[in-house]
């Protein structure tokens, strides 16, 4: 097989196709040799582990390793906490929040995310991105999963998040001290309870959980005091007890537990075929040109050690119908309002839709209303198959609870503070920034179809949607890469096509985000008439905007990094100001 392990790789559709073709040519005997010499990974798998991170930019930005006291021992885990945007807004505004505004925020529930077996916080990326704009958001990578896994200093698995060696060593020590009993469903739920009581002793919660995490969420609800859970969102939940494992599966699980290396071999066989292997097919809904989501699922499958899987498999206990009803009854006002949402893919091969339907029937037989959503063209990995639709379903459900968990309420409070309906930060700085770049050019290269722009502002006399559209007939579309709700109403456009593509501020975009941006931009470019352009903006239209435009120029138009940086600086001075964005371009594409 070609040595992809040492070459710098950009994992897009074409390179993934090439990697998969190379892997398909490797004989079974050679694969077994790779498995033996590579620490139970193939060359193809090592390539993916080296170039594809398990986590994502929003987790990178808001996560850290924290230590909690539980059951007379310390437990160190990767935690994610994005505080309410109004608290962040308080830090950068001169006027400040009123005391009653803080009281309102503290009275709002915290959104708690709980992943499943083999999962991690990054699976929730699209939902995290949505709710960070209107709520306190918290979650953990459970012991052994995600960035709570052991041996992060020496396992060679690429991650975006960075932690000190001291914190990672503490994580390893604490994981080594866990016993088999600590991995039971009851113990993990109790651990989550201890964490929430430490972090949010007086707050209410909305629990959003996936797969095995839904059963943990039910157990957690039953452990919490009365009137602490506002809502349950259960995504692709497993069946209710009893387990009824086939005899052969019981024998296999016992054998794997006794000889873990056999489980390594089983998992390796399950991954045979790479992006088309059973390990991916069982989770992903097949679509054309879907290698990006396949490689994400494949990377997550590679992330967890077999010992961790076995610990959880042996300790996982299904909740009963009685457990479910008991938890649902403890959800605030659940008898009178629909406070429970269940979502499942119509093609889920792991926890079929019929399981969710049965769960709904159990609750409704106890006079507890439930909203059940069947997600079309989706398998078990709902977040990869239908990220935008699923996020919309969850957001609308939470918004309808009437708890002020919505972007509109946040904007209203910002408006009260700033006197500006849209509450823009650093208005004076925004005024001075170049509004729209000139067309970017480089000798002997195609002209850039993308222009850099600062965000529009609904109440601005000039740079608002209506005036901008009339003044710039050359702009056919706008790609808004801001992480927040836009400071203008896109519905005001009559001709310009508006596309929202959320990215995180100050964080260098990861490979998947870059590839998706380029794909989205290129589809718009294909529709341009002669002399037309696409405007791209974050807030000021400098760093993230310049970075994405440079990526497009290099990958699609053959520019060098220096040509792209120089052209962007000339077209929209001062260009990209943050050095880490420039360095990331050179690291990605070379000189």
Which of 312, 329, 355 lies at the terminal end of a domain, its last residue? 312
Q: Are residue 238 and residue 252 in the same domain, yes or no?
A: no
Is residue 104 assigned to a domain? no
Task: Report the distance separating Cα 524 and Cα 514, nearest Å.
Answer: 16
Beta strand pairing call for 110-114 and 137-141: parallel
Which of 292, 312, 332 lies at the terminal end of a domain, its last residue? 312
pLDDT in the model for residue 591: 60
Residues 210, 116 contacting (CB under 8 angstroms):
yes
The structural domain count of the chain equals 3
Helix then strand then coil, % of the chain, to nearest 5: 50, 10, 40
Instruction: Report DSSP state, residue 334.
Output: T
Residues sharing a CB contact under 8 Å with residue 188, sequence separation 6 or more, in sequence order: 142, 143, 182, 216, 315
Burial of 239 (0-12, 13-18, 19+ CB in 10 A): middle
Q: Are residue 156 and residue 266 in the same domain, yes or no?
A: no
Is residue 501 assigned to a domain? yes
Q: Are residue 302 and residue 331 in the same domain, yes or no?
A: no
Q: Are residue 223 and residue 343 in the same domain, yes or no?
A: yes
User: What's phi and psi for 152, nearest 5 deg?
Assistant: -70, -20
The H or E element containing residue 84 is none
Residues 495, 552 contacting (CB under 8 angstroms):
no
Is residue 371 assigned to a domain? yes
Structure tokens at 404: 């002020």
Residues 238, 216 contacting (CB under 8 angstroms):
no
Which among 515, 569, 521, 518 is positioned nearest to 543, based on CA atoms? Answer: 569
Residues 183, 305 contacting (CB under 8 angstroms):
no
Q: Are residue 184 and residue 326 in the same domain, yes or no?
A: yes
Residues 481, 537 contacting (CB under 8 angstroms):
yes
Concatenating the DSSP letter of every residue in 34-45 gives HHHHTTS--HHH
User: What CATH number is given to the structural domain containing 231?
Assistant: 3.40.50.1820
CB atoms within 10 A of CB 331: 21
Residues 381, 287 contacting (CB under 8 angstroms):
no
pTM above 0.95, yes or no: no
Judged by phi (left if over 0) then psi (alpha if -120 to 50, else beta), residue 333 lies in: left
Q: What is the 3-state secondary structure (H, E, C) of 367-403?
A: CCCCEEEEECCCCCCHHHHCHHHHHHHHHHHHHCCCC
Chain centroid to CA 94: 32
Is residue 510 assigned to a domain? yes
Q: Are residue 326 and residue 183 in the same domain, yes or no?
A: yes
Structure tokens at 307: 């010992």
Residues sharing a CB contact under 8 Å with residue 568, sequence separation 6 or more, in sequence order: 437, 440, 452, 546, 549, 550, 575, 576
Structure tokens at 567: 């052209």
Burial of 555 (0-12, 13-18, 19+ CB in 10 A): middle
Sign of CA dihedral 514, 518, 521, 523: negative
Q: Are residue 177 and residue 187 in the same domain, yes or no?
A: yes
Task: Report the distance separating Cα 446 and Cα 475, nearest Å.
Answer: 18
553 to 451, 479, 504, 510: CA distances (angstroms): 11, 16, 21, 17
Is residue 419 assigned to a domain? no
The three-class DSSP label of residue 589 is: helix
Q: Are residue 222 and residue 272 in the same domain, yes or no?
A: no
pLDDT in the model for residue 226: 92
User: What CATH number is given to the structural domain containing 548?
Assistant: 3.90.190.10
Q: Are residue 499 and residue 551 in the same domain, yes or no?
A: yes
Instruction: Report DSSP state, residue 490.
Output: G
Residues 573, 549 contacting (CB under 8 angstroms):
no
The three-class DSSP label of residue 59 is: helix
Beta strands of 128-228 (E only): which ranges? 137-141, 205-210
Cis peptide before 242 (omega within 30 of 0): yes
Q: Are residue 276 and residue 386 in the same domain, yes or no?
A: no
Weakly modelled stretches of the chain, pLDDT under 50 = 1-7, 420-424
pLDDT in the model for residue 127: 94
Beta strand pairing call for 137-141 and 73-82: antiparallel
Which among 513, 520, 433 is positioned nearest to 59, based on CA atoms? Answer: 513
Is residue 418 assigned to a domain? no
Q: Are residue 479 and residue 530 in the same domain, yes or no?
A: yes
Is residue 3 assigned to a domain? no
Sign of CA dihedral 360, 363, 366, 370: negative
**Which alpha helices (H) appear in 304-386, and where do they start and end?**
306-315, 321-330, 353-364, 382-385
Residues sharing a CB contact under 8 Å with residue 584, sequence separation 6 or more, in sequence order: 508, 547
Q: Are residue 235 and residue 293 in the same domain, yes or no?
A: no
Is residue 556 assigned to a domain? yes
Domain around 481: 427-589
The three-class DSSP label of residue 431 is: helix
């Amino acid at each position: 097989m070609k040595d992809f392990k040492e070459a710098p790789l950009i994992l897009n559709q074409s390179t993934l196709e090439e990697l998969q073709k190379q892997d398909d040519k490797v004989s079974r005997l050679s694969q077994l040799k790779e498995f033996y010499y590579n620490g139970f990974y193939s060359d193809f798998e090592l390539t993916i582990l080296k170039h594809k991170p398990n986590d994502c930019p929003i987790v990178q930005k808001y996560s850290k390793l924290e230590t909690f006291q539980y059951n007379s021992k310390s437990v160190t885990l990767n935690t994610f906490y994005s505080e309410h945007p109004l608290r962040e807004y308080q830090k950068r505004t001169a006027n400040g929040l009123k005391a009653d505004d803080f009281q309102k925020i503290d009275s709002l529930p915290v959104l708690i995310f709980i992943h499943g077996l083999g999962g991690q916080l990054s699976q929730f990326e699209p939902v995290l991105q949505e709710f960070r704009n209107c709520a306190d958001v918290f979650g953990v990578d459970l012991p052994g999963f995600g960035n709570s896994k052991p041996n992060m200093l020496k396992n060679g698995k690429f991650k975006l998040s960075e932690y000190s060696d001291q914190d990672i060593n503490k994580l390893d020590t604490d994981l080594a001290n866990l016993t088999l009993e600590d991995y039971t469903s009851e113990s993990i739920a109790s651990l989550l309870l201890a964490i929430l009581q430490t972090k949010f002793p007086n707050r209410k919660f909305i629990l959003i959980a996936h797969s095995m995490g839904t059963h943990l969420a039910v157990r957690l609800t039953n452990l919490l005091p009365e009137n602490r859970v506002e809502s349950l969102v259960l995504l692709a939940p497993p069946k209710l007890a009893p387990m009824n494992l086939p005899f052969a599966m019981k024998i296999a699980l016992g054998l794997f537990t006794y000889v873990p290396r056999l489980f390594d071999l089983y998992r390796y066989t399950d991954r045979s075929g790479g992006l088309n292997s059973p390990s991916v097919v069982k989770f992903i809904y097949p679509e054309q040109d879907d290698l990006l989501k396949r490689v994400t699922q494949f990377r997550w499958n590679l992330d967890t050690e077999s010992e961790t899987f076995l610990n959880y498999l042996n300790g996982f206990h299904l909740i009963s119908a009685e457990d479910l009803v008991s938890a649902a009854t403890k959800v605030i006002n659940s008898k009178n309002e629909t406070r429970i949402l269940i979502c499942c893919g119509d093609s889920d091969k792991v926890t079929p839709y019929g399981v969710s339907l049965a769960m709904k029937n159990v609750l409704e037989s106890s006079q507890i209303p439930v909203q059940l959503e069947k997600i079309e063209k989706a398998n078990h990995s709902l977040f990869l198959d239908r990220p935008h639709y699923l996020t919309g379903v969850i957001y609308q459900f939470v918004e309808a609870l009437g708890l002020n968990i919505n972007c509109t309420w946040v904007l209203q409070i910002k408006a009260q503070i700033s006197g500006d309906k849209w509450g823009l930060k650093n208005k004076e700085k925004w005024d001075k920034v170049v509004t729209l770049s000139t067309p970017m050019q480089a000798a002997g290269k195609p002209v850039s179809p993308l222009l850099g722009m600062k965000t529009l502002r609904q109440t601005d006399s000039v740079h608002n949607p209506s005036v901008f559209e009339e003044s710039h007939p050359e702009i056919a579309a706008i790609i808004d890469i801001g992480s927040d709700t836009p400071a203008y109403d896109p519905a005001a456009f009559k001709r310009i096509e508006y596309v929202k593509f959320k990215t995180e501020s100050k964080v260098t975009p990861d490979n998947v985000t870059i590839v998706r941006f380029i794909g989205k931009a290129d589809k718009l470019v294909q529709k341009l008439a002669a002399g037309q352009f696409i405007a791209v903006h974050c807030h000021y239209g400098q760093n993230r905007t310049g970075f994405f435009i440079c990526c497009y120029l290099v990958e699609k138009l053959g520019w060098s990094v220096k040509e792209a940086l120089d052209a962007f600086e000339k077209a929209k001075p001062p260009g990209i100001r943050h050095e880490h964005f420039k360095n990331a371009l050179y690291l990605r594409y070379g000189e």
